[in-house]
Structures are given as structure tokens and as C-alpha cells.
Amino acid sequence: LVETLKARGIEVALLTGDPSRSATLVADELGITDVRNGLSPEDKLAIVREWQQKGDTVLMVGDGINDVPVLAGADVSLAVNEATDLAKTNADTLLTNGRLEVIADALSVSHKTRNVIRQNIGWALLYNLIALPLAAAGLVPPWAAAIGMSFSSLLVVLNALRLTRRPPALTAES
């Protein structure tokens, strides 16, 4: 997951309340360079707020009671299935399968969805900018305008249906 996120230009940080060197060892193994340990929940939240003020969108993954303020304050938050009940209720979503790599899959799907939405809006605007004035001017008979509008709607729906094709990483086994 860390490699995939970094390859996409997404910064990864490890914020922990653990004061020991364990976090640094784990981060080194995972390739995470921004490691901050011995943090209080308030410290973590202050760091997240600082990132947000710089314009960053923050995804927080947490599991403990000490993560609750940051889970609530992040732009998007995810608690793992083994998290405390308080962490689960303050997170935006819950990862039930324990596989963090699905976060990268979710990012891919969200980018594809945004692209399809933009395509659909673009098509609908283009169609309406051309068809409506022609129909209003009486240059297109009403039956043809109705067929055109139906075709436009069908095109938008078919384009959106492309999103239902799941890549292998998002199959039921995930």
C-alpha cells in the first residue's frame, strides 16, 4: 500500500503515541520517511490540521481510542475491524477484511468515477447546448428531440455502467 500510494504522489506518514523506537523500525521497513512518535491525540490532530491548512486532503487510518480525535478531524477516516468501538464509530468507514491494500483500489475506483462523472456532465451539457436551441427554434421536430434526449440519457447511463466492471483486485475474495 505504501509503495502504491507513493507511486501516485501521495505522501504517507506514521503518527503514533508509542514513544519507543518501534514505529521508526516499522516505518523504515515500509518506506515511510515521515514518522512521529510519542504523540498525544491532540498532537496528532494538530499535525492533521496543519496539513489541511496547507490544502492537503488527509486520509487517516486508525484503531485506538487515542486516534478518535484525528479520525473525527480528518477529511476521510478509516478504522480497521479490530479497532476500538469508539474509533469505529468516529471513522467515516470501516475496513472489515483487514487488507489495507484495498485503500489503493478504492482510490482507483474513485478517480475513475470522477472521470466518468465529468464525461457525463460534459456530454449532457454539450448535447443540451446544441439540441435545446435547435428544438426551441423549431428546427428539430418534437419526436426527434425526444429520441435525442432519450439517446443522450442512455449514453450517460451506459457510460456510468462501465464503473460496474470490477478489476480483479476488487472481486468478492477481497
Tell me which fold the domain 2-102 belongs to.
Rossmann fold (3.40.50)
| Ranges 3-7, 11-15, 79-83, 96-100: which has the least confidence | 96-100
pTM of the model: 0.73
Cα–Cα distance between 166 and 96 in angstroms, integer?
19
Tens digit of each residue's pLDDT (9 = 90 or more) over 21-67: 899 999 999 999 999 999 999 999 999 999 999 999 999 999 989 99
Instruction: Give the percent of the chain with pLDDT over 70.
Output: 95
Looking at the chain, list the stretches that DSSP marks H as alpha helix, in order from N- to C-terminal side: 2-7, 22-30, 41-53, 68-73, 85-90, 102-136, 142-161
Domain boundaries, the chain: 2-102, 108-170
